[in-house]
Amino acid sequence: MNPEISDWKGQEITDFQEDLLIKVNGRLSEKWFYTHMKSSNTTLPRIDVLNMLSKYAGYSNWDDFRFKNSVQVPLAEKVKMANNVFIKIPLLLLLIMVILVVLYNLINTQTYSFSFIDADTGEPIVNCHIKIDVFQKDESPVNFECGKNGIFELKTDESRIKMIVRSPYYQVDTIDRILKKFNHNEQIRLQADAYALMLRYFSTTDVKAWQKRREQLDKMISEEAIISQVPDKKEGDGMELYDKWEFIDKLTMPATSLRQIEILDTRYENGRIALLRFKVKKDIK
């Protein structure tokens, strides 16, 4: 807020009017500011206004203000004292405004809960790796991970949120929501990634009609697909790469099959898998 009262404009005047109403239950019109603070008018305001402003400044009334500021000093000192008063009041107002802004931000900051559900089944998505990138004003996105319970919580004072949701078995989706101050729980529907779910199903069930599965996999996977198996942490570094048919063979042939694979990432070109990252679960009994 501008320390010079004569330079105050609409919002600054409004903020002072509201603070005056809160502190001393007093009211000053905008016209009053232009008459007494933004013009060369030298007449004093009405006594009731002087009493109100004196109370706001911490005095009992106008007489108390005059008494406590009427020490017999040279004229130059009186002018200096008067200037100090008119400097301190804006500084006091500035401090009050800072406190009000801090309190407003504290009160306005809320915790919102987002739960993810399957768009087809309507069931909550739990025990599934879900990543959330939340966009910030004039900043790069902030990365979060959803809990195993399928619920993501965010504390913010924004009125709107935009985020990208990624999950191995669900399609990437960009979510744009207007946050409701009186409803902190929202459900977000995610569309299943059919190919990723089929790959998981093929790896977790006994191979039957293997020729049909090979034909299905042939249609799903691009000829130039990049397929990589991420090793378990206990196995150390190193990533195994497959071409399309090496992967299909291992997924469909009982003797060399990949069992219980967990999809980490899939990307598509022209409706077919162009990149696939997976790992093999070692804790399956």
Q: Give the integer Cα–Cα distance in Å for 59 and 54.
A: 5
10 Å CB burial of residue 251 (0-12, 13-18, 19+) is buried
**Partner residues linked to 177 by β-bridges:** 161
Given the candidates 3.30.1330.40, 3.40.640.10, 2.60.40.1120, 3.40.190.10, the CATH classification of the domain at 110-190 is 2.60.40.1120
Q: What is the pLDDT of residue 72?
A: 47
Predicted pLDDT of residue 179: 82
Dump the DSSP string for 141-166: EEEEE--TTSEEEEEE--SEEEEEEE
State how far the alpha carbon of 81 is from the alpha carbons of 70, 75, 115, 154, in Å: 10, 10, 62, 51
Q: Where in the chain is the domain with CATH 2.60.40.1120?
A: 110-190
CA 16 to chain CA centroid, Å, is: 31
Structure confidence at residue 38 (pLDDT): 65
Summarised one tens digit per residue, pLDDT across range 183-242 is: 788 889 999 998 898 888 888 776 667 788 889 999 999 999 999 998 876 656 678 899
User: Which pLDDT does position 82 carry in this prediction?
Assistant: 58
Low-confidence ranges of the chain (pLDDT < 70): 1-8, 36-43, 70-88, 98-108, 206-208, 233-237, 254-257, 282-285
